[in-house]
Structure 1
Amino acid sequence: MQDYSTEFAGKKVLITGGSRGIGAATAQRLIDGGASVVVTARSPHKETPAGATFIAGDLRSKEGAEAVAKEALRILGSLDILVHSAGAARVQLTSMDQIPETEWVDSLDINFLAGLRITNAVLPALREAGSGASIVYVSAGGLLPFGGPLSHYGAAKAALNNYALNLAKELAPAGIRVNIVTPGPIITPGGDDVRKTITGAMGITEEQFFSVVPLQGRGGKANELGEAIAFLVSDRASYITGHNQFVTGGWGSLV
């Protein structure tokens, strides 16, 4: 079995939404590989890896994103990898035309513009790192429509996907790779809250919800996403950019 314990030695990493769930699992995986990792979220959590440095921050404004970037670079000194895992899905149990406009705007702000802001803020450092630098966006729902209750969330993630693919083309000549990871139904604190709301409205059990997943009828684990992200930011994926990696257990309309 190959030893990956030094795979990320010397790498400097910033992970947004890194206090819990997919972001925290990714942070732990990269720390285990030897990376120096800064995670940011609005508040720490019991899942936040002890080996990471936590920065409290809010990416819902340009100033907030720039403050996070400035502090992360102060701590790390440079930057090789950005993993943007921050996001929020607020279920709206109504038809799309009844979702308040404020929810559409807020979802766009959190699930698309936050990624744009933090990327712009750290891009000079990634350009300085040059070939080998990498960005991964975690983007559920951008290609797999969730329906009315989460349509505003999916639309914002679709914008993030399009942005990421354009960015991949723009940064490719500099050797900076940009990829996307699309999760399926993953067992995380945020995902659990959304799932409970939806299953309650549908009148089904959690077991029934997961039964449609082709791979063993189970939900995914955060560390399974973390492993996929670790691959994409590693030198093992040195010729992969502009790629959307589905980690869904076969769930969704594209399989």
Structure 2
Amino acid sequence: MSFDLHLEGRRVVVTGGTAGLGAAVVKVFAEAGARVATSARSAPAQPVEGVTYVPADLSTAEGTHHFAQTVLKDWGGADILINVLGGSKTPGGGFAAITDAHWLAELNLNLMPAVRMDRALLPSMLAQGAGVIIHVSSIQRALPLPESTTAYAAAKGALTTYSKSLAREVTPKGVRVLSIAPGWIETEASVEFAQRMAAEAGTDYEGGKKIVMDWLGGIPVGRPARPDEVADLIAFLASPRSGSITGSEVRIDGGTVPTV
């Protein structure tokens, strides 16, 4: 039996597609024959052939407007929108270390780019009566680490709630909306972080990974997810093969979250 995802020729927009999970998402859709556009503060060292890279800072309203308007001008709209952009720059130290500026920065990186991109591209999906929007949330919304991820987790929690509400509004009009909640993904940034933890503890990279996994309460599969594993899930969920999945959040965390 063929398991073609039927993505060839689809207009796919990915935010934050030049590194980590975003780069893996761009690659999997490009390999599936989709037309892919992604945002980037700067062009990647090794761009994927055929992918359109639009220079834009999506943590700002101006950057998001530029990216969305480029897509609308060049393609007339999008069939699939994957909001991957996210991350955290808030220092450790618990609630007292989180200033107003940190809170706003987390929201402007983890919530508002998705809200703005949806607002700009969703009307074209509604006009054609079809489309898919996927928001990349995080298990941190359900399993925050008070020492370092309170603001990030709260922003991702807002993203998941927004995603649910949007799905209820637009699914009857033909546009599926859902979110995914990854656990720890072994991206370039995660590797650097584990290496830094290893150096501070006087151990090797595997020891550094164990430190991080212990902080998370353990990962039953024994390792973080690979970016391509999460990207494959996103491609499946965005495809017609998942036509009945909307309004839900799919977790991919190796079993990290211990509750139902």
Note whether the superposition's TM-score is higher than 0.5. yes
Partner in structure 2 of residue 107 of structure 1: 106
1:213 matched to 2:219? The reply is yes
Cα deviation, residue 201, structure 1: 7.1
Q: Equivalent residue of 1:8, what SS?
A: coil
Partner in structure 2 of residue 228 of structure 1: 233
User: Which letter maps to 1:214?
Assistant: P
Cα deviation, residue 91, structure 1: 4.6
User: Which letter maps to 1:234?
Assistant: S
- Whether the aligned pair in 2 keeps the contact of 1:111 and 1:153 (CA below 8 Å) is yes
Per-residue CA deviation, residues 162-182 of structure 1 (Å, 9 max, x unaligned), is 100000000111110011111
Q: Equivalent residue of 1:90, what SS?
A: coil
Higher alpha-carbon deviation: 43-52 or 151-160: 43-52
Partner in structure 1 of residue 137 of structure 2: 139
Structure 1 segment 182-193 matched on structure 2, within 5 A: 182-193=181-192
- Whether the aligned pair in 1 keeps the contact of 2:24 and 2:228 (CA below 8 Å) is yes
User: Which letter maps to 1:121?
Assistant: A
Per-residue CA deviation, residues 121-168 of structure 1 (Å, 9 max, x unaligned), is 11112212323x100011122222122211111111111111000000
Cα deviation, residue 206, structure 1: 2.0
Per-residue CA deviation, residues 32-51 of structure 1 (Å, 9 max, x unaligned), is 11110001121222354233
1:249 matched to 2:254? The reply is yes
Q: Equivalent residue of 1:66, what SS?
A: helix
Partner in structure 2 of residue 155 of structure 1: 154
Partner in structure 2 of residue 2 of structure 1: 2
- Whether the aligned pair in 2 keeps the contact of 1:21 and 1:47 (CA below 8 Å) is no
What is the identity percentage for the equivalent residue pairs of Structure 1 and Structure 2? 31
Give distance in 2, aligned partners of 1:98 and 1:56: 32
Give distance in 2, aligned partners of 1:30 and 1:51: 11
- Whether the aligned pair in 2 keeps the contact of 1:130 and 1:176 (CA below 8 Å) is yes
RMSD, aligned α-carbons: 2.1
1:240 to 242, 245, 248: 245
Cα deviation, residue 3, structure 1: 4.5
Partner in structure 2 of residue 180 of structure 1: 179
The TM-score, its normalising length taken from structure 2, stands at 0.89
- Whether the aligned pair in 1 keeps the contact of 2:16 and 2:38 (CA below 8 Å) is yes
User: Which letter maps to 2:68?
Assistant: A
Per-residue CA deviation, residues 226-245 of structure 1 (Å, 9 max, x unaligned), is 11101111001101101111
Give distance in 2, aligned partners of 1:24 and 1:46: 12
> What runs of 5+ residues in structure 1 fail to find an aligned partner?
none
Taking a change above 3 Å as real, the CA distance of residues 214 and 21 of structure 1, as seen in their structure-2 partners, is same
Give distance in 2, aligned partners of 1:11 and 1:197: 40
Give distance in 2, aligned partners of 1:127 and 1:202: 53
> What runs of 5+ residues in structure 2 fail to find an aligned partner?
none
